[in-house]
Amino acid sequence: MIEDFGSAHRLTPLLSPRSIACVGASVRADTPGNDTMRTLRRGGFRGEVYGVNLNYREVEGYPCVARLTDLPEIPDLAVLCVGNDRLEEALDEAVAVGARSAVIFASCTLADDRHPPLADRLAAKARAAGMPVCGGNCIGFYNELDHVWICGFPSPRSPRSGSIAFFAHSGSVFGALAHNDPRLRFALAVSPGQEFTATIADYIDFAVGRSEVNVIGLFIEAARDPAGFSRALVRAAERDVPVVALKVGRTEAAAAAVHTHSGAIAGSDAVYEALFDRYGVIRVETLDELAATLMLLSAGRRAGPGGLVSIHDSGGERELLIDLADRAKVPFAAISSTTTTSLAARLEPGLKPENPLDAWGTGRDFANRFSDCLADLMADENAAIGLFSTDLRDGSYLGEGFAAAALSAGKRTTKPIAYATNYTQVRHDKLALALSNAGVPVLDGTTNALAAVRGVLEYRDFRERLNVSDPVPAVQPRQDWANTFRNGPRSGALPEDDALSLLADFDIPVVRHRRVSSAVEAVEAARQIGFPVALKTAKPGVTHKSEHGGVALSLRDAAAVADAYGDIEKRLGPDALVTAMMSRGIELALGMVRDPDFGAIVTVGAGGVLIELLADRRVGLAPFGSATARRLFDATRIRQLLDGYRGSPNVDLGERSAIVARFSAMASILASHIDQIDVNPLWCGSTIAALDALVLLSPTSYEEPLRWI
């Protein structure tokens, strides 16, 4: 334990205290005041522990005093095991005696409460005192490294330190992972609750400062300290500590539930998608995937170049893995002829030396054969990671033989190997724990194992990207647009010709266009641009022009332009825009949304009529360079059309990526004043140009753009 807090992390008095006072300590079983005292002893805490309750002189073998002021020393941590009606008094007393931190289990709500409500009052008091608080409405935490267990409920855990740090906004999720599976070996597990003064950002920052931690897991509703969260993710990346996140609140219904559950604002899921992409956070979909990915990464081995190799005792389950790996976007390694020759010499007749490999045959000498074959696969230069994919059962000679084979193969490589069961309900507690403790984690269920493999490969690719230069374009617009917006209108949509001019000023190519206000001007503009042309209303406030009958396409002569203009003028007014018609091409979409916490988010993907139909888009946190722009496009389904798929025009991918990178730089610069930008479509053919642009100004401008590392 740290003896001097002078240079320690601000959470050290909370997570690694020297002395603890339990306010509300009790001898009554199954109460937070009793469970906390019992849990402290079971966790092996080595410092001073005091109970605080005027009814007792001793609780669970620890001395007990009437009030905090009666303690012989100032406690580093005050654990408030009292009900909501006593919380404010208890926290006031903890602050008054100089307690350096606190834990609050209770919900912090009162019937017929005054304004501000109790939770807000408690948070304000803690902030004023500079006191880090875990809670309110939390379960507590387990610091296995320093033997500090603070939990207001009975704990079934056994002391065992590991390398996983885990932080969960849900107390039930905290308990599910911390209390059930001994394969998950934690260094630190925290239920932050309502995060009065200590947020997940603080806990991540604390964890990456501990050398024992090699992976961080998150169950997160929202980042309550966005700037701190970004900084913490940067620190994790700098220390090469992967972060695995299960982010909830992705749908409107779930986001509403998040708000009522914890007072957090869920925010846009696209923001977190972009944030996680920027900082290499591995995203998972379920608790099972989260646990599997944490287990695989905590083994400490990093994937090499290439793809997955796997070995099976069943042709059918081999085919299942192939199908599911394709859906999970997990690539298999293309093994060399040297590897296939080696495998062929080991396999029984009728078995093919391939990857994935069915090595069972008749099962003769199966343990040695499986070990040697998997070792051959792992030795291939294209093998990044391996799965030993068979079901595992305690008390079975097959299970024991397979376990021994997996462990033997794992000792013959430095690459990661995991044991993957095909079914999640096999009975294998003893073998699974032994293998996992020996460095070959056992992952239950094919889809969960593949999610973990995908996460390991994604993190490998993220680390590789860090070594590639991807400079943000240095854009130099001719006009000071920030000053224009600062002194101009603060809300509403820019006229479309101004929106196109804005793009052009940042070297983003736009369609040839002219604004007109009469039929004569429209015809003259069409002649100057060159037939055929398009005519669009420029009436203020009409953002979706086609829905209002405000667009006429492929006007091939002056008469057609005049007729179309007359129709639009009659219904929508005289202001219009004449633009060139483009030759055959592909419609993409390019957009920006300003998030109030994380700044400008850029979206790229399918455009035109496909934008809602396909919902095919990727997002990036602005600003970024051309390499990132290309990577985002490469992840879209429409990507293959850009290479001339079935006669579609070839698109200059370098130019397109540079345009998107410049757009991201522009979005970052102007995020103080613009809420949204829609470029749809961005026409990609023999030339690339923005055909339509919608720019929505923000009613609230900031003095400086929102920018993150």
Instruction: Report d(CA 387, CA 374) in Å as an integer.
Output: 9
Structure tokens given for 243? 């972060």
Instruction: Report d(CA 535, CA 581) in Å as an integer.
Output: 10
CB 79 within 8 A of CB 31: no
Which uninterrupted H or E stretch holds 48? strand 48-52
Q: Is pLDDT larger for residue 315 or for residue 707?
A: 315
The β-bridge relationship of strands 243-247 and 215-220 is parallel
DSSP conformational letter for 182: T
Q: Which residues contact 385 (CB under 8 A, 6 or more apart)?
A: 303, 304, 308, 309, 415, 416, 417, 418, 453, 456, 457
pLDDT above 80 (res 110): yes
pLDDT above 60 (res 260): no
pLDDT band at 634 (very low <50, low <70, confident <90, very high): confident
Instruction: Report d(CA 539, CA 692) in Å as an integer.
Output: 14
| Residue 637 confidence (pLDDT) | 79
Structure tokens given for 171? 């107390």
> Quick one: average pLDDT of 380-391?
97
- Domains identified in the chain and CATH numbers: 302-465 (3.40.50.261), 470-510+584-709 (3.30.470.20), 512-581 (3.30.1490.20)
pLDDT band at 395 (very low <50, low <70, confident <90, very high): very high
| Residue 707 confidence (pLDDT) | 44
Structure tokens given for 619? 């997002």
pLDDT band at 3 (very low <50, low <70, confident <90, very high): very low
pLDDT band at 262 (very low <50, low <70, confident <90, very high): very low
pLDDT above 90 (res 261): no
What are φ and ψ of residue 23, in 5° steps? -80, 120
Percentage of the chain with pLDDT > 70? 92
CB 661 within 8 A of CB 672: no
- How does pLDDT run across 610-629, given as a tens digit for each residue? 555 556 788 999 999 999 99
> Quick one: average pLDDT of 229-246?
97
pLDDT above 90 (res 7): no
Q: Is pLDDT larger for residue 157 or for residue 348?
A: 348
pLDDT band at 334 (very low <50, low <70, confident <90, very high): very high
Q: Is pLDDT larger for residue 583 or for residue 697?
A: 697
> Quick one: average pLDDT of 578-584?
88
Q: Locate tokens 């001395």: which residue?
A: 63
Structure tokens given for 267? 């925010």
pLDDT above 70 (res 700): no
The β-bridge relationship of strands 533-537 and 576-580 is antiparallel
Percentage of the chain with pLDDT > 90? 77
**Cis ω before 416 (30° cut-off from 0):** no
pLDDT above 90 (res 343): yes
pLDDT above 90 (res 91): yes
pLDDT band at 643 (very low <50, low <70, confident <90, very high): low
| Residue 259 confidence (pLDDT) | 38
| Residue 487 confidence (pLDDT) | 75
- How does pLDDT run across 651-675, given as a tens digit for each residue? 677 888 999 999 999 999 999 899 8
Mean pLDDT of the chain: 91
DSSP conformational letter for 704: S
pLDDT above 50 (res 312): yes
